[in-house]
Each structure stands twice: as C-alpha cells, then as structure tokens.
Amino acid sequence: MPVQERCINCLLSRVRFACNQVPGQVPVDQVEAACLDLIRAHQFDPMPQTQIASAMHRLVRALIANDDPFLAVKQRSTEEALAVCRRVHPTLKTLKDFVLASIIGNTFDYGVQEHQVTSRFQIFFDQAFQAGLGVDDIDLMIPLLDRVVYITDNCGEIVFDRLLIDHLVAQGVRITLAVRDGPVLNDATLNDALFLGLDRRVNVLTTTGGDGELGVNLDVIPPALYAAIHDCTLIISKGMANFESLSLYPNLPPVAYLMSVKCVPVGEMVGMPVGSMVALLKR
C-alpha cells in the first residue's frame, strides 16, 4: 500500500529507535529530517510503502555508519525465544498449535510504533495461545501443503518458525525458506537462519533479495525464490511487511498470511482489530 499520512510518524519512530541503538553517531534530528525528506519525495509515487521504508532504512544505516543497528535487539530476541520454545515445544501437538505458536512469535517486532514487544514473553505467549486465532483458515491450507515457499520476518520469531517447519517437514512438505538479503530492522537474515540450523531443515534456503528489503519485491528476488514461487502449491508469508507487499501482486499462488495485527491500517485491510492473531488464506 502507498504511504499514508498516518503512517509517517510510525516510520520516523523506527528511525529514532535505530539511532538510539547506536547513540552518538549523528544527531537523531538530522537523520530523522533526511528520512522525512525521502518519504515526502516518494509519498505519492506508485511505489509500495514497504519499498519506501526499505530505502529509508538503507539511508539510516548509511547516515549512522552502522550496517546492523538492531543486532543486539535481534540477539536478545533469539535468546528469549529459545528459552520459551524449550518450555512450550512439548505442549504443541497439532498443525494449528504450531501455526499459532509461530504467529505469536511474530510479536517480536520492533518495526511498528503502535506495538510494544513485551518484556514478559513467556506470560504473553501463554495468554495469546489461550486466546487463539482471530482468523483461522488453517483447514483450507492443509490440502495445499506440498511445495511451500516460507517467507520469514523477525528474529526471535524464526525460532518458532523452526518448530512449524520441523512439523511440516515431518509430514513430507518440501520447503523453500526465504529470509532477508541484508539487515533491516530486526528481520532475520541468512546468518540468523544458519545459527538456528534452518539450512539443514529445508530443501532450499534463499533470500528475498534487494539488500535489506522489507517485505517482498518481486523485481529483486533471486532466481531460486522466483523459481520456487512459480512452482509452489502455497506461500507462507509471515508478518505485516510481507503481507503489505505480497497482497499487491495479482496471480500469485495461494498465500497463507500468518501474522499478528499490530497497526490500524493493516487491521483495516484484514478486517480485524489490533492485537488479533491471523491465519488468513488468500487464493
């Protein structure tokens, strides 16, 4: 979707957050002003918001001279998610359980102003699991689980994705896994996937291309992902940025959007309030 006026403060809040991870490099106001200029220059272009946000974050990294300002945040998220997964894994039995756990993991998201990552994730996980899904299309997804393209989102979250992937692989599902091509916000990259051994679990491990591109830009995806998308029976899309970008493309294979709704504009697009856990199938 294009940049809405109400989204600009959210985008700029992530600029401030990134700058605060590496204080003292460049005045935050200076970086924020440069990013606002970039947003205004492209606000009414026929260019998805995810692509404008990606360009903005590349500018931030250049201005503060830090290729991965969220590195420490990503490491903390992974450690906390691993601890919770060790406790909850034995309680997960069904496909729905594993899907719901992976969606709860999507709340490890530092890219949205309206959303705060809880400091008590174990308690939050138990409460969210008990509440369940606001949209549950899982039964409709089951016949499509053959050749899957699985597009990840955040660090921490991919620890829960690993549980779902293991469950799918045990059912004979072939998986092409795509992570970010380079650091952007707290999204998972190849290094994060390799740390968790995901390369040994899936058939193909690739990236979404674009050097730290939020969401999926089909113009820059690598050949391995292009081929997998055109051959797959289902795309599993994690998180809001992937939803915002993929939902713009016609003629895709069926897409299972697995995400926590963390802002009003996305909630309006899926017809659910902020805080909802969504497993939505679009054909």
| Residue range 88-110, pLDDT digits in tens | 999 999 999 999 999 999 988 55
pLDDT at res. 41: 95
pLDDT tens-digit readout, 211-225? 999 999 999 999 999
pLDDT at res. 1: 55
pLDDT at res. 189: 98
Q: Where are the alpha helices (DSSP H) in the chain?
A: 5-21, 28-42, 49-63, 71-88, 95-105, 121-131, 138-141, 157-170, 190-195, 223-231, 240-246, 264-270
Tokens, residue 19: 């700058």
pLDDT tens-digit readout, 27-38? 999 999 999 999
Tokens, residue 211: 């050097």
Q: In this structure, are residues 165 and 188 in contact, taking their beta carbons and an 8 Å threshold?
A: no
pLDDT above 50 for 234:
yes
Residues 264, 248: Cα–Cα separation, whole Å = 18
- State the DSSP string of 47-116: --HHHHHHHHHHHHHHHTT-S-TTHHHHHHHHHHHHHHHHHHGGG--SHHHHHHHHHHHTT---S-TT--
Quote the percentage of the chain above a pLDDT of 90.
85
pLDDT tens-digit readout, 132-163? 999 999 999 999 999 999 999 999 999 999 99
Tokens, residue 263: 């802002």
Tokens, residue 232: 């797959």
Rounded to an integer, the average pLDDT of 258-269 is 95
